[in-house]
Amino acid sequence: MDILLEANNISGGYDEEMIIRDFSLRLERGEFLGIIGPNGSGKSTLLRLLTRILVPRIGNISLGGEDIARMDRKELSRKLAFVSQNTFVNFSFSVWEMVLMGRIPHLARLQSETKKDFMIAEKALSLTDTLHLKNRKIDELSAGERQRVILAKALAQEPSLLFLDEPTAHLDIGHQIQALDLVKKMNIENGITVVIVLHDLNLAAEYCDRIILLEKGRTFAEGRPEEVLLYQNIEAVYKTVVVVNKNPVNSKPHVVLVPGGEMHVN
């Protein structure tokens, strides 16, 4: 088993509020891991802890066997990339400038981009269907377009580990599938390990190898999609009635909401 990232009994949050409690994870290289759970369950906070945006108050996290708290920020940025659900950018950069920023971890101090960097940035734009936006200003784009540009920036980093916080939140269904197909392709063909937060349980079922279901900052269930996406688990955590069938195309779990339904009683 090739463990890329390991979190040992971490707890943390904001100010005095502890959001994530006693969370542990062993992430294998090449995995596609999904994090699901209702609003307020701690999904985004967990990603911020795992990427060192937040520092755990308890526990530790290692990447490739090295404590991330001791890693140089630039070294860490060469190994992992984080795509936030917040696509707002403070300055009016061009799309091309934004994506080239993904190359900064690979450049020496005061070094200019090389032809290789330009090629990598252009490829990332092409993959995310944003090459035609290259000369536009980032603050002139729709939320969905900005989301794809931010994903292109992350791909330009060439990370071995990619964290995505609700990357489909601002995308129409066509671009949702396009974005997740691209991430899955990078996972399979380039060996990028993926940790993704998703609200859509059916997308999680389709793309993830393993799913962690959070409830109030703790792991409620963990395993393959068919082991986690049981109606009992979903009703217990989301407090809503569902039916879980098999997708007729690939037999993966398919969650159907039941408006006005009564909770199952065991």
Question: The tokens 């393993």 sit on which residue?
Answer: 210
Q: Is residue 67 part of a domain?
A: yes
Counting the structural domains of the chain, the total is: 1
Instruction: Kindly report whether the global pTM for this prediction surpasses the value 0.75.
Output: yes
46, part of any domain:
yes
User: Does residue 240 lie within any of the structural domains?
Assistant: no
Determine the angle formed by the axes of helices 173-189 and 143-156, rounding to 10 degrees. 10
Q: 19 lies in which domain range?
A: 3-230
Q: Closest by alpha carbon to 99, among 54, 49, 156, 148?
A: 156
Q: What value, to the nearest 5°, has the Cα angle with vertex 149 and ends 147 and 150?
A: 65
> Is 172 within a domain?
yes
Assess if residue 242 is contained within a domain: no
Distances in whole angstroms, Cα of residue 27 to Cα of each of 3, 9, 14: 6, 14, 25
* pLDDT (tens place) for every residue of the chain, 266 residues total: 799 999 999 999 998 889 999 999 999 999 999 999 999 999 999 999 999 999 999 999 999 999 999 999 989 999 999 998 776 677 889 999 999 999 999 998 888 889 999 999 999 999 888 999 999 999 899 888 888 899 999 999 999 999 999 988 888 898 889 889 989 998 998 899 999 999 999 999 999 999 999 999 999 999 999 999 999 999 999 999 999 999 999 999 999 999 876 665 55
* Amino acid 264: pLDDT: 57
Structural domain contains residue 49: yes
Which residues are within 8 A (CB) of 78 and not within 5 positions of it... i.e. 6 or more apart? 105, 106, 157, 158, 159
Minimal CA–CA distance to 225: which of 239, 248, 249, 244?
244
Tokens of 116: 């290789």
Does some domain include residue 43? yes
Give the separation between CA 70 and CA 55, rounded to whole angstroms: 12
Return the closest-CA partner of residue 94 out of 64, 123, 63, 133.
Answer: 133
Backbone CA torsion sign across 54, 109, 156, 75: negative
Q: Establish if 122 belongs to a structural domain.
A: yes
CATH number of the domain within which 172 lies: 3.40.50.300
